[in-house]
């Protein structure tokens, strides 16, 4: 049984300029005290053609983690534009949020991003070289894909630990985004739990983050609720979506 469940993600400052930092407010529940830190990564998919263009925007360590509900903001600088292929600068791509414990990835949340020029004239007649300072980044906050992995949370030998799945498949792959295999230290059967939410609505720096206990941001078009329960029916009048994570 997983000891950590993400219960809410809020995309902050969205839409935004392409060159603004990424900001996500994450809420998670820990069912018992963790002896080691949680490792969170933010990964920008630079191209659908190859993972070689992926950029780890930031890695942070959250801990110590006592039992209970915790909230923190994960912020990272935008990708290094010199590492993004020119033909992939405009259009749809993906940003990934991953969390690992003891070098084992146990959850991944992927979001579509639509990068486009704010100026209609530039959209109609894009320049030969991308002008990133004139682009708008719009994260499709209510259409994430959540992938869960079984890991060994204790010091005992692993028993039935699941291996990594193709991180973003289904709709993401159909839109030209390559599959990802960013799991570390996961071996065994392919029993990962991969769910997609169909709602309507390079610094590589390493930081140590403390946990904050404060009221979460209000739910709006930039938030999703992820309680550890079965996925309910989608309410077409709501701008948030709930599912198990």
- Do 28 and 4 contact (CB within 8 A), yes or no? yes
The number of domains in the chain is: 1
Structural domain includes residue 232: no
Cβ atoms of 222 and 216 closer than 8 Å:
no
Q: Which CATH number goes with the domain that contains 147?
A: 2.60.40.1490
On whether residue 195 sits in a domain, the answer given is: yes
Q: Is residue 95 part of a domain?
A: yes
Domain membership flag for residue 160:
yes
Q: Residue 179 falls within a domain, yes or no?
A: yes
Checking if the pLDDT of 90 tops 70, the result is yes
**For residues 229 and 195, which has the higher predicted lDDT (pLDDT)?**
195
pLDDT at position 203 is: 38
* Maximal C-alpha separation, the chain: 60
User: Which residues touch 228 (CB under 8 Å, ≥6 apart)?
Assistant: 5, 7, 29, 244, 245
Residue 1 pLDDT level (bands cut at 50, 70, 90): confident
H or E element, residue 29: strand 22-30
Q: What is the pTM of this model?
A: 0.71
- Model confidence at 199: pLDDT above 80: no
d(CA 152, CA 158) in angstroms, rounded, equals: 5
Quote the mean pLDDT of the chain: 76
Q: Is residue 233 part of a domain?
A: no
- Residue 38 included in any domain: yes
Instruction: Give the range of the structural domain holding residue 12, as residue numbers without chain letter.
Output: 4-225
Instruction: Give the lowest-confidence range in 17-21, 148-152, 176-180.
Output: 176-180
Residue 241 resides in a domain: no
Question: Within 10 A of 205 (CB to CB), how many other CB atoms are there?
Answer: 12
């Amino acid at each position: 049984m997983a000891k950590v469940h993400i219960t809410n993600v809020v995309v902050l400052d969205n839409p935004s300029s392409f060159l603004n930092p990424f900001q996500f407010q994450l809420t998670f529940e820990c069912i018992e005290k963790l002896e080691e830190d949680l490792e969170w990564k933010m990964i920008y998919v630079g191209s659908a053609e190859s993972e070689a263009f992926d950029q780890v925007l930031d890695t942070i360590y959250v801990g110590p983690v006592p039992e209970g509900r915790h909230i923190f903001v994960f912020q990272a600088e935008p990708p290094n534009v010199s590492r993004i292929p020119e033909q992939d600068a405009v259009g749809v791509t993906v940003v990934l949020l991953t969390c690992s414990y003891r070098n084992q990835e146990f959850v991944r949340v992927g979001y579509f991003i639509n990068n486009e020029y704010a100026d209609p004239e530039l959209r109609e007649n894009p320049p030969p070289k991308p002008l990133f300072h004139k682009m708008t980044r719009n994260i499709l906050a209510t259409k994430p894909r959540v992938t869960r992995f079984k890991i060994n949370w204790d010091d005992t030998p692993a028993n039935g630990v699941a291996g990594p799945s193709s991180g973003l498949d289904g709709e993401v792959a159909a839109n030209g985004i390559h599959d990802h295999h960013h799991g570390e230290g996961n071996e065994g059967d392919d029993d990962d739990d991969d769910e997609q939410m169909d709602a309507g609505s390079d610094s590589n720096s390493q930081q140590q983050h403390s946990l904050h206990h404060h009221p979460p941001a209000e739910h709006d078009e930039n938030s999703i609720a992820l309680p550890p329960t079965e996925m309910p029916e989608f309410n077409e009048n709501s701008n948030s979506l709930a599912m198990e994570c």
